[in-house]
A and B are shown apart, each in its own frame.
Chain A
């Protein structure tokens, strides 16, 4: 049913299924686009903007998040322009506003790759979750794996944070540690905690709001 269309990624002619995202198409063609809040199998979320690429459309250049943008016939995509590289560096530095250099996992690897100074914008915040970049992977993983969320967002804007909801967590967390698996900053850890091993999120609020 789905049509095959052709497009260009980094001057490489490739074919992709209609409806696929640029990120999927690129992966298929062997072009790697770095991501933070994307996880294969989970619904794209488009929150980190790290996978941004430049596209040419109607003679105009535009920056889009490749995890959310569906491919079009004749689309020209550039994934590594100087503009994009600079933007990714800034995004990494911004993402680390709370954590500073204190990150591990994919964040650290990407920071090295893009030569980002993670403590550039570091500031003292009253919020306890210093490592978390609020990419929402744990929330989506939990919801999509369990049909119920033991973990979720609360607050808006800069007050946004991750919270653990004890009631569903009591039933779910003893057998599942998906959230720890997907966390790109190493914020969520399991194992050494209490029994059952809750994801160790400091912000435990009573019940779901």
Chain B
């Protein structure tokens, strides 16, 4: 049954206000509190054990009633998890282990002292940061959507209501006509956060004016890009904000039925949105006569079956209809003929979650954030070879350089930046020369990439651009629905050609073939997946043509990635004849003795890289495109060097 006791039915905006006051009065602002992140990232890092340790320790010390304990959503800095926040001081502890719990309680809760060693340590300056704002990763962000994730227990609607939740809905239902809502969103210039950047209000207006009934509203949470988790984090951490936006949108377009399409691979998101819908219904904020008005909306959760292409709007709709998720062939907007050929508004999770903010704070406030045609904030999932990885929410128009070097903290191990890929697997690579462009929909398309849903993968100088293009082509090949010939066969041929180039079998005409296929795909295909699938290949060719030339002509991979083009070699100056690699080599290719420098028999070497990984003296090297020096038979090792542990 309901864990929160009897739900308080909200039958008018006044009821909502009363309820909010009641919740607030029950909660003392200065009461000590602990919040632990229980989103996927932290759960993977053992957050549930930390949670149990807190429960047990609070029980043991008899503090259960004096300390408010909360399980909350994600703050985005997942690599530093599990994250624990102490209230009311808002001290953030990172990388908390169950063993740390007794100390946190006795020191921070009882004696109000800060535990230095659990604070975040800046990797460059070495300084400890007490609050989020002091951490470089957070300092430059503007967290409109993600801010509340750490304050809300996603399974408790009262937390959301206490922070002003559902008051945007109350305002819309009782003070605004549907047209006024559309007008307000239009004024805010909000563009779809799923990646296309289509003006949201225009979509709503089309659906509102389209003939045909019933109308539908859909939340697209089919986030399948490798390395992206912004939609998941929002869905897990603050599902009510998405739901409130959806109800407002449904009211604006005149829909009475809504769907939330979530990937089944996101179990916590599925669970939390399910609970959110149930609680909203119990409180009278969803269902029949919402908040005592005459507006009805039923929302159901549809679990996706794992196809990447179902993130495409018309494919997602066919999937909800119960058919194979393939894009519809007709050139008709889903806004007029969508789900079951009825007018349908489909928006991304982030778009829906932005709506309540626009209604509450006004379109003018929203327009003040970002640039003229790209308003508001965008959430990126910043991953790859940067020092700080995680979810980043910034105003539109921030430069890529600031994003990567200020928030991301620069490239890991102080290597050189090579490229950044934005927009998921079908986004293009952006080289250093374009790092100063502002991040917005139009600029990214201009340089051959796209906003996509906001994945951002940073690559350093050790990345081979041909290899990485092949990686993404292979991903899309797996995920293409296989209907259209240029996509299915084009990706197959591209993958094959790129594979040949990486294997050192590239021919001079391969570049032209690749371009020809990529252009055909880009122009002729039906859905966004196919049309953008060639982006990684085209931008790799455009900006990193040098890498391709080297692979094809010199049979050389400068980044030492393509196995077929590299040879392993032991530097006789550095080798200490420790016999470690000799013992570990799976193919017995390493020769030598305990008092004799080792060398690799190239005939036997399978290029697995084991010796390279385990050598503590950096004696094993990768050579590409250059001759291997002769075997140093019988040389005694120069035992002066000190071994060091390799990083990671």
Contact = CB atoms under 8 A, between A and B. Distances in A.
Interface stretch (B208-216, B236-244, B486-494, B613-621): B486-494
B581 to A, nearest CB: 38
A121 B491 CA distance: 12
Interface in B470-514: 477-486, 488-493, 496
Given A69-B331, A90-B516, A156-B307, A95 B523 contact: no
A44 B329 contact: yes
B525 interface: yes
Given A87-B520, A157-B477, A49 B489 contact: no
A50 B492 CA distance: 18
Contacts, number: 97
15 contacts: A47-B329, A49-B525, A65-B329, A70-B331, A90-B516, A90-B517, A94-B486, A94-B489, A157-B478, A157-B481, A157-B488, A158-B488, A158-B491, A158-B492, A160-B482
Nearest to B484: A47
Interface string A178-192: 000000000000000
Interface in A45-90: 45-50, 52, 63-65, 68-70, 83, 86-87, 90
B520 A91 contact: yes
Contacts of B525: 49
B330 interface: yes
Given A68-B329, A90-B517, A121-B489, A158 B524 contact: no
B517 A94 contact: yes
A97 B520 contact: no
A116 interface: no
B526 A65 contact: yes
A159 B486 contact: no
A98 to B, nearest CB: 8
A114 to B, nearest CB: 13
Given A46-B484, A94-B517, A63 B526 contact: no
Interface string B79-121: 0000000000000000000000000000000000000000000
A110 interface: no
A134 interface: yes
A97 B517 CA distance: 13
Contacts of B307: 156
A83 B524 CA distance: 11
A123 interface: yes
B523 A63 contact: yes
Contacts of B491: 158
Contacts of A49: 484-486, 524-526
Nearest to B482: A160
Contact of B489 (A63, A97, A159): A97
Interface string A86-122: 1100110011010000000000000000000000010
A164 interface: no
Interface of A: 36, 44-50, 52, 63-65, 68-70, 83, 86-87, 90-91, 94-95, 97, 121, 123, 133-136, 153, 155-160
A47 to B, nearest CB: 5
Contacts of B324: 153
Contacts of B486: 49, 90-91, 94
Given A157-B479, A157-B482, A134 B523 contact: no
B316 to A, nearest CB: 16
Given A87-B523, A91-B524, A157-B478, A68 B330 contact: yes
Contact of A94 (B477, B483, B485, B526): B485
Contact of A45 (B329, B479, B493, B496): B329
A97 B331 CA distance: 28
Contacts of A87: 520, 523-524
A156 B482 CA distance: 6
A46 B526 contact: yes
Interface string B523-543: 111100000000000000000
B524 A68 contact: no
A50 B489 CA distance: 14
Contacts of A83: 523
Contact of B490 (A94, A157, A159): A94
Contacts of A160: 482-483, 488
Given A65-B524, A123-B493, A160-B482, 9 more contacts: A44-B330, A65-B526, A68-B329, A68-B330, A86-B516, A91-B520, A95-B489, A157-B482, A158-B492
Nearest to B490: A94
A95 B484 CA distance: 10
B496 A48 contact: no
B492 A97 contact: yes
A122 to B, nearest CB: 10
A48 B480 CA distance: 15
B209 to A, nearest CB: 18
A63 B524 contact: yes
Nearest to B531: A63
B520 A134 contact: no
Contacts of A159: 482
A160 B487 CA distance: 13
Nearest to A98: B489
A52 B483 contact: no
Contacts of B482: 134, 155-160
Given A63-B523, A156-B307, A97 B329 contact: no
Interface in B268-324: 307, 324
Given A87-B523, A156-B482, A94 B493 contact: yes
Contacts of A123: 492-493, 496
A91 B485 contact: yes
Nearest to A48: B485
Contacts of A63: 523-524
Contacts of A158: 477, 480, 482, 488, 491-492
Contacts of A45: 329
A135 B483 CA distance: 8
A187 to B, nearest CB: 14
Nearest to A65: B526
B489 A47 contact: no
B472 to A, nearest CB: 15
A65 B329 CA distance: 9
B496 A133 contact: no
10 interchain residue pairs of minimum CB distance: A46-B329, A160-B482, A94-B489, A157-B482, A49-B524, A63-B523, A90-B520, A97-B489, A157-B480, A121-B493
